[in-house]
Amino acid sequence: MNEALITSEVGTIIGFRQDTTTDAVVLDSANLTTDSGLVYQDAHPIVTLTNIEDSQEDASISAAEMNTYLANLKNDVINDVSKQIVRDEIKFIEQNSLFKYEQSFTETETLGTGFVGIKIEPNHNENILLTINSISVSFNGAAVIPIKLIHSESGTIVSTTNITSVDKEQVRTRTNLRISLNTGNIGGSYYLGYFTSEVALSPYKRVHEFASVYSTPKCFNTEFGTWSLTGSRIDITDPIIEIEPFGLNISYHAETDYTQLIIENKYRITEAIMLKFAERVVELVLNSTRSNIKTRELDEQTRNLANLALDNPTSGIRGRLAAEIKSLKKMFFPKPLVMKGTLR
């Protein structure tokens, strides 16, 4: 799944209630925002800002740092719940490189003006998560090559990967660029490459024996081309398409992606998120390495109550969470009924 996309879309579905106790941390607007009207403190009585602040490791944490801590905690919980729901349904599709054979480093490509590189266009009806595991560059000198990932519908630079080239070498940099094909953005394609105005070197051509043999991906189409610019935006209307990848190569893997399923059903997963957050806070209180609750260490009675909150046979947080996840799995991924028949 595309965790960053999920947290950006689901992160404000539940918020926090401002604590009115003395010296309580002042929450920022992002942590106070609740699209559903739900607040995490209602998940369980043990979920309080005081308990969270006193149980995290930094005894001198500032208000800004505490707000960041809360934001990271809720995002971790949202991603954890999302993964639990879809984990058994994810299917691996392929792993490959666009070009797998060696090259000779004898001829270079003349660059045009604008943006050059690889167009990545979905060709599959099923939602796909494409992960670019590495990007390789081949240029006739040493320089920093800023590789951009741009989506055509937004026109914004999604990411920049700086790779330092070496003459007559293919330099590979490992990445973890995760692209949700058919999800997140409605329509459009991704462009991976560089602005020619930012690169003074020339890329090597793939001209040696099998060097130009291209491995066709199963779940997306590619084109290698030069695109002119309208301001800073790629002009998709008049590309110059070539067979050369302009000194670029990528390795990747692809799997089914349920990012959009989670986002479109975010209001249905609020109960699971609340329960998971409560579980995380109880575990935080139980396992804190600091003396707890304003310098008072957890006594045995408090520890027993916390453990009971987690594992009570009838109302424990873990049992309720497991039942909720099971119910969501059935709703999102219904299994066909087994039909029985008799031979006559």
User: From CA 43, how far away is CA 320, in angstroms rounded?
Assistant: 12
- For residue 204, give the DSSP letter: B
Of 119, 272, 230, 107, the residue nearest 181 (C-alpha): 119
User: From CA 73, how far away is CA 76, in angstroms rounded?
Assistant: 5
Contact in structure between 52 and 284 (CB atoms under 8 Å): yes
User: From CA 53, how far away is CA 219, in angstroms rounded?
Assistant: 46
Tokens at residue 176, please?
A: 């973890």
User: What pLDDT score was predicted for residue 301?
Assistant: 60
- For residue 269, give the DSSP letter: G
One-character DSSP codes across 87-117: GGG--EEEEEESB-S------BPPP-SSEEE
Residue type, 302: T
Q: How many residues does the chain have?
A: 344
Domain chopping of the chain, boundaries: 3-88+260-332, 93-257
Q: In what order do the strands lie in the sheet with 115-122?
A: 157-164, 144-151, 190-195, 115-122, 220-227, 240-242
- For residue 40, give the DSSP letter: G
User: From CA 324, how far away is CA 277, in angstroms rounded?
Assistant: 14
Q: How far is CA 41 from CA 17, 50, 146, 218, in A?
A: 7, 11, 45, 46
Q: What is the CATH number of domain 93-257?
A: 2.60.120
Tokens at residue 306, please?
A: 């916390």
Q: What are the two backbone dihedrals, phi and then psi, of residue 233, each rounded to the nearest 5 degrees?
A: -95, 140
Q: List all residues 6 or more positions away from 70 whose beta carbon is below 8 Å from its beta carbon.
A: 16, 27, 31, 49, 52
Residue type, 125: N
Contact in structure between 89 and 256 (CB atoms under 8 Å): yes
Contact in structure between 198 and 97 (CB atoms under 8 Å): no
User: What pLDDT score was predicted for residue 154?
Assistant: 80
User: What pLDDT score was predicted for residue 1?
Assistant: 80
Name the burial class of residue 97, with classes exposed (0-12), middle (13-18) and buried (19+) by CB atoms within 10 angstroms of its CB.
Answer: middle
pLDDT in tens, the chain (344 residues): 888 889 999 999 999 999 988 888 999 999 999 999 999 999 998 899 988 998 888 889 999 999 999 999 999 999 999 999 999 998 999 999 999 888 889 999 999 999 999 999 887 656 888 999 999 999 999 999 999 999 888 888 989 999 999 999 999 999 989 888 765 445 688 999 999 999 999 999 988 778 788 888 988 889 999 999 988 788 888 889 988 899 999 999 999 888 888 999 999 999 999 999 999 998 888 887 765 444 345 556 666 667 777 877 777 889 899 999 999 999 999 987 665 655 55
pLDDT tens-digit readout, 10-54: 999 999 999 988 888 999 999 999 999 999 999 998 899 988 998
Which secondary-structure segment (H or E) carries 274? Answer: helix 270-287
Q: Which residue has the tokens 């390795």?
A: 251
pLDDT tens-digit readout, 70-110: 999 999 999 999 999 999 998 999 999 999 888 889 999 99
